[in-house]
């Protein structure tokens, strides 16, 4: 696959077209119907949760939130490929992948309500917290992969970044180190066309993002990120390639951020309706649903019922998160050091004295 889709030729791996028709039998992944239906339902869950979270934000019930919708195929395919022992290194726009790894929606809500507890993902194995400083997390991916190799563990690391993030020095150091060390890490660039208001064209003049792998002597591939089958096939191939000790892989997943950058952003300032409509044709859910309906695996009626159930469940989880325990002063101080300096203990005590005074 990597030979055939060498990014130098600017080809893109695609398995189904916009109408959900299989156009590339060779790379149609080995998935049975049940798995495919589940993948679609998971994408539907991610989208429903995501859109509801945006509306919770509008109601003032959470703070700033970066929506995921439009990018679900990448996340759900990742979830299908990433095994329990593998590492997931998030940026911040991979909701479905976190959930598949064992993070809970309640935690996601807590995080965007303003609790650090929400990014611990305490019941998920081998996942890092959400990373806000763009691209910085990729190097941790390289380090985790070095450790896996050194410790002789069968782990592959999956580390995520956006198109904008490829301009940071950290991106390039992460790739180069990983290639030089020949360690098992898959870098996934979610090329959703924008970094806030900055378009891909202002970010790079490379023909694609996958080609950046070539300079580092590692494998790379450009994939239709709105095609679940193509994403699954590429991620799976990359997993296989890394597991065999061949070194890192860079996957560019071509997609579109259908929503705003975050709930504080207004995309009408920098992109037009015509462009949004063009991408609407390539919507990842719409495409997979067409495939399912064509193959008589799913129906519109089913979808409506499923969404209704999801909404109820999501609302229930959200109110659970809203009733989370208050944030105590102790929580502010507790987690900075294994061995807390006396100074810090004093500062906490002083503040408690102030609070007592204030109450009296």
Interface residues toward other proteins, by CB under 8 A: 63-64, 111, 113-116, 130, 132-136, 164-165, 167-170, 195-198, 202-204, 264-265, 269-270, 326-327, 329, 331-333, 336, 341, 343-344, 347-348, 351, 354, 357-358
Q: Which of 58, 270, 316, 351 is catalytic?
A: 270
b/e 248-278 (16+ beta carbons within 10 angstroms → b):
bbbbbbbbbbbbbbbbebebeeebeeeeeee
Alpha carbons 97 and 75: distance in angstroms, whole number: 5
Of residues 198 and 346, the one with the C-beta less far from ligand TPP:
198
User: How many other C-beta atoms are found inside a 10 Å radius of the C-beta of residue 71?
Assistant: 30
Instruction: Return the residue of 15, 16, 88, 134 that touches ligand TPP, per CB under 6 A.
Output: 134
Number of Cα atoms under 13 Å in the Cβ half of residue 36: 23
CB of 295 to other proteins, least distance (A): 41
Alpha carbons 184 and 178: distance in angstroms, whole number: 8
CB 70 within 8 A of CB 259: yes
CB of 212 to other proteins, least distance (A): 13
Is 270 labeled as catalytic in the residue annotation?
yes
Q: Which of residues 295-324 bind ligand TPP (CB under 6 A)?
A: none
Alpha carbons 187 and 166: distance in angstroms, whole number: 11
Tokens of 283: 């919507």
Alpha carbons 230 and 77: distance in angstroms, whole number: 9
Three-state DSSP at 116 gives helix
Of residues 204 and 290, the one with the C-beta less far from other proteins:
204
In the list ligand TPP, other proteins, none, the entry touching 30 (Cβ below 5 to 8 angstroms by class) is none
Is 337 labeled as catalytic in the residue annotation?
no
CB 109 within 8 A of CB 321: yes
Residue 163 near ligand TPP by CB under 6 A: yes
Of residues 50 and 155, the one with the C-beta less far from ligand TPP:
50
Of residues 36 and 134, the one with the C-beta less far from ligand TPP:
134
Residue 195 near ligand TPP by CB under 6 A: yes
Q: Which of 98, 261, 287, 291 is catalytic?
A: 261
CB 243 within 8 A of CB 81: no
Instruction: Return the residue of 53, 104, 142, 192 that touches ligand TPP, per CB under 6 A.
Output: 192
In the list ligand TPP, other proteins, none, the entry touching 320 (Cβ below 5 to 8 angstroms by class) is none
User: How many other C-beta atoms are found inside a 10 Å radius of the C-beta of residue 215?
Assistant: 13
For ligand TPP, the binding residues (CB under 6 A) are 93, 132-134, 162-165, 190, 192, 194-196, 257, 261
Which residue numbers are catalytic?
257, 261, 270
């Amino acid at each position: 696959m990597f030979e055939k889709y060498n990014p130098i030729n600017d080809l893109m791996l695609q398995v189904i077209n916009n109408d959900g028709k299989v156009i590339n039998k060779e790379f149609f992944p080995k998935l049975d119907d049940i798995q495919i239906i589940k993948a679609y339902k998971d994408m539907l869950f991610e989208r429903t949760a995501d859109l509801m979270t945006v509306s919770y934000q509008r109601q003032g019930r959470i703070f700033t939130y970066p929506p995921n919708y439009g990018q679900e195929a990448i996340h759900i395919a990742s979830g299908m490929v990433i095994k329990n022992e593998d590492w997931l290194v998030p940026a911040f726009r991979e909701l479905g992948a976190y959930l598949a790894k064992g993070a809970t929606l309640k935690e996601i809500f807590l995080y965007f309500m303003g609790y650090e507890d929400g990014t611990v993902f305490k019941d998920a194995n081998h996942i890092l917290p959400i990373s806000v400083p763009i691209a910085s997390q990729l190097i941790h991916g390289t380090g985790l992969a070095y450790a896996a190799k050194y410790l002789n563990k069968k782990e592959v690391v999956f580390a995520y970044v956006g198109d904008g993030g490829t301009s940071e020095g950290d991106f390039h150091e992460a790739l180069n180190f990983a290639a030089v060390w020949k360690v098992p890490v898959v870098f996934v660039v979610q090329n959703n066309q924008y970094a806030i208001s900055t378009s891909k064209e202002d970010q790079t003049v490379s023909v694609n993002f996958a080609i950046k792998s070539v300079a580092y002597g590692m494998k790379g591939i450009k994939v239709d990120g709105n095609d679940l089958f193509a994403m699954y096939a590429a991620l799976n191939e990359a997993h296989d390639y890394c597991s065999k000790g061949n070194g890192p892989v860079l996957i560019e997943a071509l997609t579109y951020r259908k929503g705003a950058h975050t709930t504080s952003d207004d995309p009408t300032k920098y992109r037009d309706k015509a462009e949004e409509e063009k991408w609407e044709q390539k919507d990842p859910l719409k495409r997979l649903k067409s495939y399912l309906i064509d193959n008589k695996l799913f129906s519109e009626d089913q979808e409506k019922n499923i969404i209704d159930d999801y909404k109820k469940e999501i609302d229930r989880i959200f109110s659970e998160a809203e009733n989370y325990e208050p944030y105590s002063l102790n929580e502010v101080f507790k987690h900075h050091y294994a061995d807390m300096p006396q100074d810090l203990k004093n500062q906490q005590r002083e503040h408690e004295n102030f609070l007592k005074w204030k109450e009296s």
